[in-house]
Chains A and B, each alone.
Chain A
Amino acid sequence: PEVVRRCKRTEMSNSERIWKDGHLQQRRSSAKSSRWQRRYIQLLADCLRVYEDESMKRMRHQIALNTVNIVEHSDVVFELARRHDASNTVSLIFTAEDVKQAAGWLKELYWLRYRAEGGGVFGRSLADVMRAQADTGGVTDVPRIVSECVSFLSTETCLGTEGLLRKSGQKKAVSALRLAYQRGESPDLTAASAHETATLLRIYLSELPEPVVPYFAYANFLTAGQKISLGDPDTELANLQGLIQILPVENRNLLKLLSCFFHMVEQQSDRNLMDATAIATLFSSSLLSDDNDRLLVNAEMALDPQPRGLAVSTITALIENYERLFGDIEFEQVIRRSVTPPPPPSPSPATLHLPQHQQHSASCVPTLTAGSSASAEIQKALSSITRLYREKAEESYALTRELVSLKSRLAACAHCQRHLLEVASEKADTAPPASAMAVAAQAAAEAATAEPTESSCPACTFHRSETACMRTVIAELSDRLRGLQSENEALYKMLLAFNGGTGCGGNGAAAGNVSGSDTSR
């Protein structure tokens, strides 16, 4: 029956994409006396369907999302409340098993309900948000929530607040702001304090499904950071600059805006006490981290201090060398396009460092244009290598993820563990839980060796055959990954050579080499 149901579901998804499905406790909110019922729920792009059970024979409700508002009653209870102008529909209340499940549903619901209005951005990928923003005619460089928070936080009074970005805002106020952004509204940030806005920004960034520096570039950024802290910052900064260039445009823009903003905060560290390292520590896991850090769900995986330290020093370098790495004032203007009128031109440190920017970008641009005019071919080759590199890096990263998830699934199929535990506890009826665990572990070990036992659980038999498949897939994937990684390394070296070349004003020989090898590909 399991398999049949799966097939049915995939057939369905061909015609209409199912964004999320699963079981929730549900009742109608109009009839206070109505009882909670466990229902099977499907979320489609524009509606939510409530079925009696997973067989989907009887549909109890179908709610068009644009006729309801989402109301959160607690961590696990939320309501799809009928809008006043909508007739012909009901309000339903749902209860999830835990906070995590509720958050998963709410994330999708907010996105599908409010994306057209520029909401539902929390937990959504940068690419999704930017696409939606472009569709609705919003700002096109960074997510609206970030640009609004940053423009408020970079006002003179906020920059001078002690512990800016570090201290937490009042919880209620932060959730109110969050809700407003989820609904696509533009809350008045000036009514909240700097700490609330900063907390909102921190939470938004930490909930991005991928750090601002995407996973595929993580390792290279970390290496660059390490080299900067070890010495010869000049060449290494050029490397870092090259790495930033190969990021997808939405990530690059966001990284740039944030680095600029952090740089401004750091400039006032005598008032707000936040130096670059302090800021980097707070944001390192949202800006630069790998899976293990962010998805720290499995208990044993503690933060590895070493890569974390490197990530912090890399971000510190980004902040401290903002002018050299990004050097232009365009983003300053974005930030200054503020909610409140811009501060009067007083000789404060923040306005004082503006001219430096101008100077720097002025001296920077000519060398770049000179380099590109010297050889358009170099530029062409560079962009093609960049593209190739990004593709390969993304592919190998996707492979790594797939491998990791496969391996963890192999290690622990939650269902089987639970089932085995039940079997074991039945066996050792009166035994204390510790020994039951031991029996279960033993049973699990037996199952893992794929000995076909007399277990009657269909899921376990299914799982066992799946495990065998997974092992072969893992072996294949590992091979492919190794191949990709070596290819990638070669490409990366090429890129670095290239960046070094253009950095010195277009080294003809190096460029020739690279373009030559590029065509040979």
Chain B
Amino acid sequence: MSKSVSKSVKPIKIVVIGSGGVGKSALTLQFSKSKFFLDYDPTIEDSFSKSCYIDNEMARLDILDTAGQEEFTSMREQYMRLGQAFLVVFSVTDRKGFEEVDSLIQLIYRVKDREAFPIMVAGNKIDLQNDRCIDQSLAQELVQRHQEFNPYCAYIETSAKTRLNVDLVFHDLVRLLRLYNAKGGSKQAKKSKCSLL
């Protein structure tokens, strides 16, 4: 019975992006399979789907787990075009991955040609408190800068290892998307074109 329900729901395409080795696959696998995999295998591209109730409403999530290495960027723009909501992951133990976050969000706006879009920023690996080099306030600040013009952007701290906030990050993303769609997000004004023209 639940199957027929989930069939009738249109899947939501979620794309997980972020620098290499920050735990994109670990988060995705922890969410979809409730497991923490210890192997250290880089991803080229993987997809998972999971159905769940979020705020008493059925949601079918198609999650696309992507490669973190920049030379796969030609692929990156393609799957970005298909994504309806984005999870941008960085590791709180990796400064370089964090520096990448802003440019990735900019890339989403550019590919989507929108100024606002549902985006969750996840600071992963917070179980490794001793190695932490990105403060919560630093990440909050970054997201707040985006929130000024993109109300569908939020920050959350996660640990794929201890499963902290793993469900929450995906559920919140779906909530953001619902909010975005309810406000007629897809029909919202496109990014303003070059003012010189």
Given contacts A207-B71, A278-B41, 7 further A-B contacts (CB under 8 A): A168-B19, A168-B96, A169-B96, A171-B70, A278-B40, A299-B78, A303-B75
User: Which residue of chain B has the shortest Cβ distance to A169 in the bound complex?
Assistant: B96
Complex CA distance for A167 and B100, rounded to whole angstroms: 12
Write the A161-174 contact mask toward B (1 if CB under 8 angstroms, else 0): 00100111111000
Q: Is the CB of A282 within 8 A of B78?
A: no
Chain A positions within 8 Å of B, measured between CB atoms, are 163, 166-171, 195, 199, 202-203, 206-207, 273-275, 277-278, 281-282, 285-286, 296-297, 299, 302-303, 308
User: Which residue of chain B has the shortest Cβ distance to A173 in the bound complex?
Assistant: B96
Beta-carbon contacts under 8 Å, B93-112 to A? 94, 96-97, 99-100, 103
Write the B44-86 contact mask toward A (1 if CB under 8 angstroms, else 0): 1100000000000000000000001111101100100100000
The A-B contact count (CB < 8 A) is: 65
Beta-carbon contacts under 8 Å, B1-51 to A? 19-21, 40-45
Q: Is the CB of B94 within 8 A of A167?
A: yes
Residue of B40, B72, B81, B97 with highest tally of chain A CB at under 10 A = B40
Task: Give chain B residues whose Cβ lies under 8 Å from the Cβ of A167.
Answer: 19-21, 94, 96-97
User: Which residue of chain A has the shortest Cβ distance to B18 in the bound complex?
Assistant: A168
Complex CA distance for A167 and B125, rounded to whole angstroms: 15
Complex CA distance for A65 and B80, rounded to whole angstroms: 39
Given A281-B41, A281-B42; A203-B74 close (CB under 8 Å): no
Q: Which of A171, A195, A274, A297 contacts B74 (CB 8 A)?
A: A297
Q: What interface size band does chain B fall in?
A: 20 to 34
Q: Which of B21, B75, B100 contacts A296 (CB 8 A)?
A: B75
Complex CA distance for A148 and B143, rounded to whole angstroms: 39
Complex CA distance for A144 and B146, rounded to whole angstroms: 42
Beta-carbon contacts under 8 Å, B143-197 to A? none
Q: Is the CB of A166 within 8 A of B21?
A: yes
Task: Give chain B residues whose Cβ lies under 8 Å from the Cβ of A277.
Answer: 41
Complex CA distance for A302 and B81, rounded to whole angstroms: 13
Complex CA distance for A297 and B77, rounded to whole angstroms: 10
Given A168-B100, A274-B40; A203-B70 close (CB under 8 Å): yes
Complex CA distance for A289 and B116, rounded to whole angstroms: 37
Chain B positions within 8 Å of A, measured between CB atoms, are 19-21, 40-45, 68-72, 74-75, 78, 81, 94, 96-97, 99-100, 103
Complex CA distance for A199 and B74, rounded to whole angstroms: 16
Q: Is the CB of B40 within 8 A of A273?
A: yes
Task: Give chain A residues whose Cβ lies under 8 Å from the Cβ of B78.
Answer: 296, 299
Complex CA distance for A166 and B20, rounded to whole angstroms: 6
Complex CA distance for A390 and B59, rounded to whole angstroms: 55
A-B contacts, 24 listed (Cβ < 8 Å): A163-B21, A166-B40, A166-B42, A167-B19, A167-B20, A167-B94, A167-B96, A167-B97, A168-B68, A168-B70, A169-B96, A170-B96, A170-B99, A195-B96, A199-B69, A199-B70, A202-B69, A206-B71, A278-B42, A286-B71, A296-B75, A303-B44, A303-B75, A308-B44
- Interchain nearest-CB distance for A288 vs B (Å): 13
- Interchain nearest-CB distance for B23 vs A (Å): 11
Sorted nearest first, the 7 A-B pairs with minimum C-beta distance are A206-B71, A273-B40, A163-B21, A167-B21, A281-B42, A168-B20, A168-B19
Complex CA distance for A170 and B41, rounded to whole angstroms: 21
Q: Is the CB of B40 within 8 A of A282?
A: no
Task: Give chain A residues whose Cβ lies under 8 Å from the Cβ of B21.
Answer: 163, 166-167
Complex CA distance for A303 and B47, rounded to whole angstroms: 12
Complex CA distance for A10 and B96, rounded to whole angstroms: 49
User: Which residue of chain B has the shortest Cβ distance to A275 in the bound complex?
Assistant: B40
Q: Which of A207, A282, A297, A308 contacts B69 (CB 8 A)?
A: A282
Task: Give chain A residues whose Cβ lies under 8 Å from the Cβ of B74.
Answer: 296-297
User: Which residue of chain A has the shortest Cβ distance to B81 in the bound complex?
Assistant: A299
Complex CA distance for A203 and B72, rounded to whole angstroms: 9
Task: Give chain A residues whose Cβ lies under 8 Å from the Cβ of B41.
Answer: 277-278, 281
- Interchain nearest-CB distance for A78 vs B (Å): 19
Complex CA distance for A299 and B77, rounded to whole angstroms: 9
Q: Is the CB of B42 within 8 A of A168?
A: no
Complex CA distance for A273 and B81, rounded to whole angstroms: 33
User: Which residue of chain B has the shortest Cβ distance to A298 in the bound complex?
Assistant: B78
Complex CA distance for A303 and B44, rounded to whole angstroms: 9
Task: Give chain A residues whose Cβ lies under 8 Å from the Cβ of B69.
Answer: 166, 168, 199, 202, 282
Complex CA distance for A418 and B43, rounded to whole angstroms: 37
Complex CA distance for A296 and B94, rounded to whole angstroms: 30
Complex CA distance for A478 and B72, rounded to whole angstroms: 32
Complex CA distance for A308 and B75, rounded to whole angstroms: 15
- Interchain nearest-CB distance for B65 vs A (Å): 13
- Interchain nearest-CB distance for B35 vs A (Å): 19
User: Which residue of chain A has the shortest Cβ distance to B19 in the bound complex?
Assistant: A168
Complex CA distance for A110 and B43, rounded to whole angstroms: 33
Q: Is the CB of A303 within 8 A of B20?
A: no
User: Which residue of chain A has the shortest Cβ distance to B46 in the bound complex?
Assistant: A305
Task: Give chain B residues whose Cβ lies under 8 Å from the Cβ of A296.
Answer: 74-75, 78
Q: Is the CB of B71 within 8 A of A171?
A: no
Complex CA distance for A282 and B71, rounded to whole angstroms: 10
User: Which residue of chain A has the shortest Cβ distance to B79 in the bound complex?
Assistant: A302
